[in-house]
Amino acid sequence: MGGELMVRYAVLGSGSSGNSYVFFDGTTSVLVDQGFSVVELQRRLASVGIDLCTVSGVCVTHLHPDHAKGVGVLARKLRIPVYLHTKMVEQESVVFEKLGIPQECIALVQPGVAFSVGPFTLACFETTHDSGGSVGWHITYDGTTLMVLTDTGSYTSEQLGLAKKSDILFLEANYDATMLRTGPYPLYLKNRISGLYGHLSNDQAMQFIQESEFCGEHVYFIHLSTTNNNPTLLSEVALSQVKIPFTVCEKGKCYGWDTENP
């Protein structure tokens, strides 16, 4: 670990079995997504040396269960704010209600409008996904900017601009185009995944890094499909195309600031 002021962070899990990212300054932590039970979240936080009671807010990318199913129970337990894009609540009202977030914990936010959780400054930006009001997040702490871009079928010039200014990038690489095309999924699902409101492919992720001119410290490839992607294949593609150190996050596993070289 570097200097004392350095932000600590971890991928607590990514992919269809549950997604969560944590950012920690030694006292306060903030989550992006919470797709686990509280017990499982606590276990995963502990594995990277973070206590559950430091969690002071949760930012949500979208309301698919693998990203949001644990948000309500966590908010009820810790009485912390849950930050949601207003459109998410309006367009996915049935799913939203089922989460059971206490009224006083609901914090509605707008893309591009920054707010603070402890020492962190956060803002969301819109993504294209088949869940209303979906967003990605960027997080700034003491001059370091981190960006989470997941569950989006395409990327925008706004996102490219944000990535260019980021130090750490968590970027979806959901599927290999050939594996998806030749794989076992039914056609409608293949079309959904590769469509504008689906997920980023390995090739799209590589293009994103190149087009954004990302020159930060590290890229974490996240939200890999077990059926339509292969971590070894993705590593080979990234090795040949990405000049920056990277980590391929296998589904379900934890990765963090001190687990880069396990």
Query: How many whole angstroms from its chain centre is CA 69?
Result: 15
By C-beta, is 66 or 176 nearer to Zn ion? 66
Q: Which residue is nearest to Zn ion (CB)?
A: 64
**Nearest distance from C-beta of residue 49 to Zn ion, angstroms:** 26
Both tokens assigned to 102: 């206490």
**Nearest distance from C-beta of residue 62 to Zn ion, angstroms:** 6
By C-beta, is 64 or 138 nearer to Zn ion? 64
**Nearest distance from C-beta of residue 16 to Zn ion, angstroms:** 6
By C-beta, is 137 or 141 nearer to Zn ion? 137
Which parts of this chain interact with Zn ion (CB under 5 A)? Answer: 64, 66, 151
**Nearest distance from C-beta of residue 61 to Zn ion, angstroms:** 8
By C-beta, is 8 or 64 nearer to Zn ion? 64
**Nearest distance from C-beta of residue 35 to Zn ion, angstroms:** 8
By C-beta, is 152 or 230 nearer to Zn ion? 152
